[in-house]
Amino acid sequence: MDESLELFKVSDTLTIRDAIRKMDEGGLGFICIVNADDQVVGVVSNGDFRRAVLKGVVLDRPISEIMNRQYRFLKKGFTNAHALDLIMNTVTQHVPVLDDGRLVGLVNVEDFLPKGRERHFKENCTIPLVIMAGGKGVRLAPFTHVLPKPLMPLGEKTVIEHIMYEFSSFGVQDVIISVRHKARMIKAYFEESAAPYRIRFMTENKPLGTAGALKTMRDIIQVPFFMTNCDVMIKENYWEIYDFHQQKGFDVTMVVAQKNYVIPYGVCHVQQEGCLERIEEKPNLNFLINTGVYVINPSVFEFIPDEERFDMDDLIAELQSKGKKVGVFPIDEKSFIDIGQLDEYKSAFQKIESFLHTDLEMGAV
C-alpha cells in the first residue's frame, strides 16, 4: 500500500482532538477511521467535525463517536463509470478505495467531473464580496509604511488578489473594496490589473472601523453578502458557509477557526486555604476564534450608525441586544491564515502554496 495513505488513517480509539490534528496534517479535510484489524469502520470530514463542535461535543471523546459509519466507497479495480455514478450521489470531496475493507487509495471527486464544471462553482453568481481594506496595517509595520496592507506580496500575487482568487473559484465576481489608507495606490494597482472581476471602490472619508464602512454600501447591496478583512484567507467551501447562513436564518454568520493551545507547564488547581487539589500536566485549551470572514444580511445596515467608527464586535453586540441571530461556522485551524501579523505573514510564504492548492492527487492503487 502507498505509505502516504497512512496520513489519512486514524485509529478509532484516538481522541477527536488528536484525530483532527492528524486530519490537518493530511491537508485534505478527510480521514478514514480504522479498527485494530486495519479495517475502515468510518470516515470523518471537516463537515463532521464542524457539526460536532456546534453540538458541543467534548474533544477528548473517541473519534469513533462522530465518524460517519454510512460512508460511500469504491472497490479496488473500480471503473470510471462506477466512480462517476457514486460521485454524483455523494456530497463528500474525497472517496476511499477499499480492498477487503482496507484502505488502498483515495480519489478526489473533482478529478472525475468535466473540466471547468466543478461542483462548487456557481455561474452567473450575483453575490457580492466586500473586502475591508481601509486600515493602516500597523501590525505589519514597517512594511506598510511603504505598501498598503492589501498590496503586500505573497508569492506571485498580492494578498488581496489571493483573497479574490479564492472567492472567484466559487463563482463570486462582484467585488467591493472599502479603502482609505493609501487608497490611491490600491486603486491605481487595479487600474493596471486584468483581473476577471467587477471591482468597485468605496472610499472612507475617515476611519469607520470594520463595520462602519458597510453603511456606505446600503444602497448597492440588496442580498446577503460575503465580507472579509483584507489580511485573512480561509480554504473552505464558501457555498457551504452561505447555505448554512441561509438555512439557519442568521442575520450574521461568523466563520470561526478551532484554535488549540498547549500550556507548556503543569497547571495547579488549588482549593480553599491554599491546598493543592491536583496538577494538570500541559493541558490543551481549545477556542473558537473569529477569522474576520462573514456572511451578512443587508438588513443589518440599519443597526450601523452613519459616519461613526463601528467595528464588527460592536455590530454583533448591537444585533444580539436587539434579539437578532448571530451564527458561527467552524473550520479547522489549518484552513485559516491571518496575514495581518508579522510572524504569520513571514510564515505564509512557506504555507501559501499548499494552502491554495490542497487538492492532493492520490490515485487508487
Tell me which DSSP letter residue 306 carries: T
CATH topology of domain 128-354: Spore Coat Polysaccharide Biosynthesis Protein SpsA; Chain A (3.90.550)
Q: In what order do the strands lie in the sheet with 284-296?
A: 198-203, 174-179, 128-133, 225-229, 284-296, 252-262, 326-331
Calculate what percentage of the chain has a pLDDT beyond 70: 85
Alpha-carbon span 249 to 358, nearest angstrom: 31
Q: What pLDDT sits at residue 324?
A: 97
Alpha-carbon span 4 to 197, nearest angstrom: 38
The pLDDT of residue 101 is above 60: yes
Alpha-carbon span 174 to 157, nearest angstrom: 19
Q: Are 111 and 361 in contact (CB under 8 A)?
A: yes
Of the two residues 192 and 53, the one the predictor is more confident about is: 53
**DSSP assignments along 251-284, one per residue:** SEEEEEEEEEEE-SSEEEEE-GGG-EEEEEES-E
| Three-state secondary-structure class, residue 202 | strand
**Where do you find CATH 3.90.550.10 in the chain?**
128-354
* pTM assigned to the model: 0.80
Alpha-carbon span 216 to 134, nearest angstrom: 13
The pLDDT of residue 104 is above 80: yes
| Nearest CA among 290, 310, 296 for reference residue 222 | 296
Q: Which residue has the cell 462582484?
A: 174
Residue 343: count other Cβ atoms within 10 Å of its Cβ: 9
Q: What is the mean pLDDT of residues 243-268?
A: 93
- Residues 130-144 have pLDDT tens digits of 999 987 666 666 666
**Where do you find CATH 3.10.580.10 in the chain?**
3-112
CA angle 288, 294, 300 (to 5 degrees): 120
CATH topology of domain 3-112: CBS-domain (3.10.580)
Q: What pLDDT sits at residue 80?
A: 80
Q: What pLDDT sits at residue 63?
A: 96
Q: What is the mean pLDDT of residues 81-95?
A: 75
Q: What pLDDT sits at residue 177?
A: 95
Alpha-carbon span 43 to 59, nearest angstrom: 17
Query: 64-73, 81-90, 196-205, 355-364: which has the minimum mean pLDDT?
Result: 355-364
